């Protein structure tokens, strides 16, 4: 038998190591339609970044809402391993994981940049990942959504009494707050809201910021657009990965995926800020009145929010831990914002 020399063996080994790893393609389902403005493109943008950075070693088949599982079941499918990757809003997980509603968006909570700072520097991401690990899910924040509007209505809101009896699409903790003021809330996926409002199944809806809302056409089926978005001053969409799939990637591959999400956050945030005024002008041109919620209504919403937060915290130690972490971070960092207020 021919024996390999040391030099030959080294050459063979080096050549083998130089061979590209077998390309892998993964299914990734978004909770949003891929053409839904704002949130829709995020999954595809991330997938393209990862594929480019890995030289095609990792690629994705990106599916829109409902392609594999219903849009509100993406988290459960990733948790079970039915699909390896998802793109989702944490608030949609609230029925399974009560604290997820808080991670999805805190009423009267932080602005987007402050929420981002809490995630990456204030311990927020560590908390989020510790919680999600119990469900076999690794989470990567991948889009910060700007301040939302209070919602679209087909009646004027002048007093708290005007809210009573409204059938309204509402998501997250804000829905629980609105229910205390007599609103009948229901969670409807993004792609079904327009038809529900048009056909009178609901009287009002919230969804997101003007850029995202106008892309769904709400200006064509509502008379009033109210601000501010008290219920969700910021929120986060995330890539979620079935944990065994995540753990099978190399450290370099994991870093690429993390960095691709940070790039998503930067690009989508800049685009959202840039496009809000254009969206507001389109809304006004459609004949919609843009208004602010009256002080009386805002005060009632704040009182109801404090009640919900206190009760949730008392019932769930994990909710209390995250709420305390985020609240303390807001309180500590608010001094910086106070010092930077400019006269207008």
pLDDT of 48 over the 90 cut: yes
Checking 269-274 for CB contacts under 8 A at 24+ apart, the result is 269/112, 269/144, 269/146, 272/38, 272/145, 272/146, 272/209, 272/211, 273/146
Q: Is residue 239 part of a domain?
A: yes
Q: What is the mean pLDDT of residues 76-100?
A: 93
Last residue of a domain, one of 223, 248, 276: 276
Question: Are 253 and 288 found together in one domain?
Answer: no
Question: Are 161 and 185 found together in one domain?
Answer: yes
Q: How far apart are CA 321 and CA 326, in angstroms?
A: 9
Q: Is residue 7 part of a domain?
A: no
Question: Are 228 and 319 found together in one domain?
Answer: yes
Q: Is residue 10 part of a domain?
A: no
Q: Is residue 177 part of a domain?
A: yes
In this prediction, residue 37 has a pLDDT band, given cuts at 50, 70 and 90, of confident
Q: Is residue 120 part of a domain?
A: yes
**Residue bearing the bigger pLDDT, 72 or 49:** 49
SS3 annotation, the chain:
CCCCCHHHHHHHHHHHHHCCCCCEEEEEEECCCCCCCCCCCHHHHHHHHHHHHCCCCEEEEEECCCCCCCHHHHHHHHHHCCCCEEEEEHHHHCCCCHHHHHHHCCCCCCCHHHHHHHHHHCCHHHHHHHHHHCCCEEEEEEEEECCCCCEEECCCCCCHHHHCCCEEECCCHHHHHHHHCCCEEECCCHHHHHHHHHCCCCCEECCCCHHHHHHCCHHHCCCEEEECCCCCCCEEEEEEEEHHHHHCCCHHHHHHHHHHHHHHHHHHHHHHHHHHHHHHHHHHHCCCEEEECCHHHHHHHHHHHHHHHHHHHHHCHHHHHHHHHHHHHHHHHHHHHHHCCCCC
Q: What is the mean pLDDT of residues 172-176?
A: 93
pLDDT of 180 over the 70 cut: yes
Last residue of a domain, one of 245, 276, 307: 276
Instruction: Please check whether residue 269 is in contact with residue 146, taking contact to mean a CB–CB distance below 8 angstroms.
Output: yes
Question: Are 207 and 248 found together in one domain?
Answer: no
Q: What is the mean pLDDT of residues 182-192?
A: 92
Sheet-wide strand order for 184-186: 184-186, 167-169, 204-205, 151-153, 224-227, 289-292
Q: Is residue 50 part of a domain?
A: yes
Q: What is the mean pLDDT of residues 25-36?
A: 93
Question: Are 97 and 243 found together in one domain?
Answer: yes
Question: Are 51 and 173 found together in one domain?
Answer: no
Q: Is residue 314 part of a domain?
A: yes
In this prediction, residue 13 has a pLDDT band, given cuts at 50, 70 and 90, of very low
Taking every pair of Cα atoms in the chain, the longest distance, rounded to a whole number of angstroms, is: 93
What confidence score (pLDDT) does residue 21 get?
55
Question: Are 138 and 217 found together in one domain?
Answer: no
Range in 32-46, 136-150, 293-307 with the lowest mean pLDDT:
32-46
Residue 19: C-alpha distances to residues 6, 12, 16, 148 (Å): 20, 11, 5, 49
Domain of 183 in residue numbering reads as: 151-232+278-338
Question: Are 43 and 140 found together in one domain?
Answer: yes
Question: Are 38 and 172 found together in one domain?
Answer: no
Q: What are 262's strand-pairing partners? A: none
What confidence score (pLDDT) does residue 144 get?
93
Instruction: Kindly report the CATH number assigned to the domain that includes residue 319.
Output: 3.40.190.10
In this prediction, residue 123 has a pLDDT band, given cuts at 50, 70 and 90, of very high
Instruction: Kindly report the CATH number assigned to the domain that includes residue 37.
Output: 3.40.190.170
pLDDT of 291 over the 50 cut: yes
Model-level pTM greater than 0.75?
yes
| Angle of helix 251-285 versus helix 42-53 axis, rounded to 10 | 150
Q: Is residue 343 part of a domain?
A: no
Q: What is the mean pLDDT of residues 19-35?
A: 85
pLDDT of 276 over the 50 cut: yes
Question: Are 141 and 156 found together in one domain?
Answer: no
pLDDT of 6 over the 60 cut: no
Question: Are 189 and 116 found together in one domain?
Answer: no
Q: How far apart are CA 108 and CA 93, in angstroms?
A: 20
Question: Are 243 and 311 found together in one domain?
Answer: no
Percent of the chain with pLDDT over 70: 94
pLDDT digits (tens, 9 = 90+) for 213-246: 998 999 999 999 999 999 999 999 999 999 999 9
Instruction: Look at the chain and report how many structural domains it folds into.
Output: 2
pLDDT of 7 over the 80 cut: no
């Amino acid at each position: 038998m021919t024996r390999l020399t040391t030099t030959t063996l080294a050459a063979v080994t080096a050549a083998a190591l130089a061979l590209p790893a077998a390309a892998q393609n993964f299914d990734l389902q978004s909770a949003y339609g891929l053409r839904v403005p704002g949130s829709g493109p995020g999954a595809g943008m991330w997938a393209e970044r990862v594929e480019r950075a890995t030289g095609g070693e990792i690629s994705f088949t990106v599916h829109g809402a409902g392609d594999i599982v219903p849009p509100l079941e993406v988290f459960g499918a990733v948790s079970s391993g039915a699909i390896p990757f998802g793109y989702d809003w944490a608030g949609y997980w609230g029925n399974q994981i009560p604290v997820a509603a808080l991670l999805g968006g805190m009423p009267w909570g932080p602005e987007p940049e402050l929420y981002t700072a809490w995630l990456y520097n204030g311990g927020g991401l560590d908390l989020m990942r510790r919680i999600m690990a119990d469900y076999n899910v690794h989470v990567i924040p991948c889009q910060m959504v700007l301040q939302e509007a209070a919602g679209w209505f087909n009646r004027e809101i002048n007093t708290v009494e005007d809210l009573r009896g409204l059938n309204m699409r509402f998501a997250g903790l804000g829905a629980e707050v609105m229910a205390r003021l007599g609103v009948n809330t229901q969670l409807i996926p993004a792609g079904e809201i327009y038809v529900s409002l048009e056909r009178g199944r609901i009287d009002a809806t919230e969804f997101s910021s003007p850029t995202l809302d106008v892309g769904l056409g709400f200006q064509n089926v509502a008379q009033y657009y109210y601000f501010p978005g008290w219920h969700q001053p910021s929120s986060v969409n995330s890539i979620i990965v079935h944990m065994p799939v995540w753990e099978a990637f190399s450290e370099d591959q994991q870093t690429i995926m993390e960095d691709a999400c940070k790039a998503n956050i930067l690009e989508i945030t800049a685009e959202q800020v840039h496009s809000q005024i254009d969206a507001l002008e389109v809304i006004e041109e459609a004949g919609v009145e843009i208004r602010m919620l009256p002080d009386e209504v805002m005060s009632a919403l704040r009182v109801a929010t404090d009640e919900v937060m206190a009760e949730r915290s008392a019932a769930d130690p994990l909710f209390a831990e995250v709420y305390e972490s985020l609240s303390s971070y807001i309180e500590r960092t608010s001094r910086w914002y106070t010092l930077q207020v400019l006269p207008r």
